[in-house]
Amino acid sequence: MRLLTHNMLSSNIKGVVNGFPLRIEAEKVLEKNVEMNSDFLKKMFEKIEWKAFVEASRGMGYTELPEEADSSMLDSDEFLNRFHHALLELHLEEGALVCPETGRRFPVRKGIPNMLLHEDEV
Amino acid sequence: MASRPERIAPPEIFYDDTEARKYTSSSRIIEIQASLSERALELLALPEDGVPKLLLDIGCGSGLSGETLSEEGHHWIGLDISPSMLDIAIEREVEGDLLLSDMGQGLGFRPGVIDGAISISAVQWLCNADRSSHNPRLRLKAFFTSLYKCLSNGAKAVFQVYPENNDQRELIMNAAMHAGFAGGIVVDFPHSSKKRKEFLVLACGQLSTNASLSQGKNEDETRLSDDDSDSEDEENQTVRNLDRHRHLKRQKKSKSGKGREWILRKKDQMRRRGNDVPQDTKYTGRKRKGRF
């Protein structure tokens, strides 16, 4: 699972008001090279919750992202490269996602988070 | 469809390791899935600005439909309830991210982040109650409301569905309408029982029902002319909205008799399906003399 997906995911357990962001517990992180598309990055930048994104990338062991970011930084190639790497090239392979409100763990195996809820959580 | 997998077992059990492998190694299914997802992507009518979009593939299975999305350069997130299917997707090294998730429990995404959604042959599974805690109406509601929430304004969702009957079609459609979607059903190849495919085209945002319906119609007209040039022998497209009073109309017709026109139309229809049909002559549909 990439951080792109992580930044969109929130926990949808019944009764949880703020299920975002899911905390990452990383056991194994993979890197896969992907071609960069700056148009896509610029469009996604508007949708990304930056604070959660930085935190998640740190959880995955990538610390090059700046604490704060605004759209003017998108003109810098260096920033775009880092953004691209964190967003699309880092894969959480093994570990877990943890709901910030209830502490419920969603295990991640072979890159697939198991988001199935128990019957009493629906 | 002669046999319906929905009747056999719940999806996470039906698509076990062997069934999932069978599904993905059949060239016929691969071909069908590819053409269905191409058509769904076409109906999704994404803005053609060359910028890749973030799409959802609901019931992605082994990622056959997601491959079409990747080919167009889009990023996608696939959801499925069958771990075996997802394992095969991993083996096939699909480019999208995969989630093991049950669409009937609602989708856990932030509001307004997704640019569009497709789903190939999956939504009809929601009409089943596979466990005592399952209520199809509630599961459909959870699915459509959570989908509506996570789609961005003006985004569309296209579902290819195999509803078992009109009740199921209406159940799905009503749930979508209640969630706030506008849209209708597009039927490809309405006259052929084998090739007939239904697509639920839903729009999210300020479009009125009429606006999005007429949009569907226009798309169909262009599609029709496309196919004419390909000399396809099927009459391809009709757009229908669910109409509660349809059966009333049908009754009226049968009272007044069917007539020559109706017979000619039916014969034409059978010819297009490739059946042996007698010629049309002056005797076609003529009443017999009384003394017979």
- Residues shown for chain A: 122
Q: Do A49 and B106 touch (CB under 8 A)?
A: no
Asked if the model's pLDDT at residue B41 lies above 60, the reply is yes
CA distance A80 to chain B (A): 16
- On the CB side of A58, CA atoms within 13 Å amount to 10
**Chain B CB contacts of A10 below 8 Å:** 108-110
Strand runs labelled E in chain B: 54-58, 75-80, 97-100, 114-120, 151-161, 182-188, 197-203, 237-240
Q: Do B108 and A10 touch (CB under 8 A)?
A: yes
Chain A to chain B Cβ contacts (< 8 Å): 80
Q: Do A8 and B113 touch (CB under 8 A)?
A: yes
Asked if the model's pLDDT at residue B230 lies above 70, the reply is no
Q: What is the pLDDT of residue B218?
A: 38
CA distance A74 to chain B (A): 16
With CA atoms as reference, the chain B residue closest to A114 would be: B100
Mean predicted lDDT score pLDDT of chain B: 81
Q: Do A8 and B150 touch (CB under 8 A)?
A: yes
Q: What is the pLDDT of residue B249?
A: 55
Q: Which of A5, A37, A115 is nearest residue B52 as measured by Cβ atoms?
A: A37
Q: What is the pLDDT of residue B247?
A: 58
Q: Which of B99, B126, B143, B151 to mutate to test the interface with A (most CBs of A within 10 A)?
A: B99
B99/A contact by beta carbon, under 8 A: yes
Please report, for residues B88, B90, B138, B163, B179, the alpha-carbon distance to residue B216 in angstroms, rounded to integers and kept in the order given: 35, 35, 28, 20, 20
* Cα–Cα dist A55/A41, whole Å: 19
Give all domains of chain A, ordered by start, each with its CATH number: 3-111 (2.20.25.10)
Q: Which residues pair with B100 in a beta bridge?
A: A114, B80
Question: What confidence tier does B244 reach under pLDDT thresholds 50, 70, 90?
Answer: low
**Chain A CB contacts of B50 below 8 Å:** 39
Q: What is the pLDDT of residue B5?
A: 84
**Chain B CB contacts of A1 below 8 Å:** 97-99
pLDDT digits (tens, 9 = 90+) for A36-75: 888 899 989 989 999 999 999 998 999 889 988 888 888 8
Pairing of strands B114-120, B54-58: parallel
Q: What is the pLDDT of residue A23?
A: 92
Mean pLDDT of B149-173: 91
Question: What confidence tier does B128 reach under pLDDT thresholds 50, 70, 90?
Answer: confident
Q: What is the pLDDT of residue B133?
A: 82
Are the beta carbons of B130 and B138 closer than 8 angstroms? no
* Cα–Cα dist B96/B66, whole Å: 7
CA distance B31 to chain A (A): 26
ipTM attached to this prediction: 0.92
